[in-house]
Amino acid sequence: MPNRMTERYAVTQKYLMTRGQAINFPYQYFETNFKKNEVFGVVIDIPMSATVLTTMVCFINGAANLYFNNGGDYTGASQRYRTLVQAAHNLVANATQLVPKCTKTKKYDLPKGMTQKIYLLTKSGIFTTEVKPGIIPEDQPELRSFYVLYQRVLNELRSSQLKDDAAARMNPEK
């Protein structure tokens, strides 16, 4: 049960380890010579309810995965669904324009309340900002555009999950 005084989410060790590995993923795994503040990965903590926290992880190669505070996950869909790869790549490729609006960080606290935390992974370090859904100021077009792009990735992940569920029902022996 989360501590109501701090609005923190109850999390498993598996979730914390996976989230930490994603946030600290090295740029050297990609065969690209990134510029200093060019984004190669995006990690977004998305509170879904008072007890459910989801972390979406996307990389420049189109990989997109979801991790849940209870230790569950949805991974590997990028290997099956091209539209997901395109959405995830597009999100990461366009994230660099958000870097100047972020602050560099070495702290990766879980979000409080329903605030979404965004981490942008670059060669020169990790940058962060926050989003309160429905309250993105008009004078922050970069954040608005980024929010739309990551909602597209979430929609593609959900669509992929529904396709996987339908396929599992069609082939129950697998």
Selected residue with higher pLDDT from 40 and 140: 40
pLDDT one-digit tens code per residue, 68-119? 999 999 999 999 999 999 999 999 999 999 999 999 999 999 998 889 999 9
Q: Cβ distance 42 to 58 under 8 Å?
A: yes
What's the whole-model pTM score? 0.91
b/e 50-76 (16+ beta carbons within 10 angstroms → b): eeebbbbbbbbbbbbbbbbbeeebbee
Is the pLDDT assigned to residue 25 strictly greater than 80?
Answer: yes
pLDDT (mean) for 40-65: 95
How does the average pLDDT of the chain come out, rounded?
90
pLDDT at 174: 55
